[in-house]
Amino acid sequence: MRTLEENYRIFGSLMTEDKVWFDRTLSFRDICRWLEVDEKKLDSMLIEEIGMDGQALMDDYRAHIPDFLRKKYGIECLTPC
């Protein structure tokens, strides 16, 4: 059984390295199920550490996709990315 801190680190890796947030069908709740971690506990830790809950963080990453594509490739994302 992993500790909450280990699950926090794994969630961070899933977001930054594996970029799971690109999958718009995936929710924070889904990731918590994968990790077998209590969603409220991980949410509380995220709020304490970065000031955002898990779903808000995923949504924030997703909101920046058009800027990322524009800056990196000069692509204008006309539909929801």
In a domain, 59, yes or no: yes
In a domain, 81, yes or no: no
In a domain, 34, yes or no: yes
Confidence at residue 79, expressed as pLDDT on a 0 to 100 scale: 63
How many Cα atoms sit within 13 Å of 42 on the Cβ side? 26
Q: What is the pLDDT of residues 53-74, one digit of tens each?
A: 999 999 999 988 888 888 889 8
Q: What is the pLDDT of residues 14-45, one digit of tens each?
A: 999 999 998 989 999 999 999 999 999 999 99
Burial class (CB in 10 A: 0-12, 13-18, 19+), 74: exposed
In a domain, 10, yes or no: yes
CA–CA–CA angle 29, 33, 21 (5° rounding)? 50
Share of the chain above pLDDT 70, in %: 95
Full-model pTM: 0.83
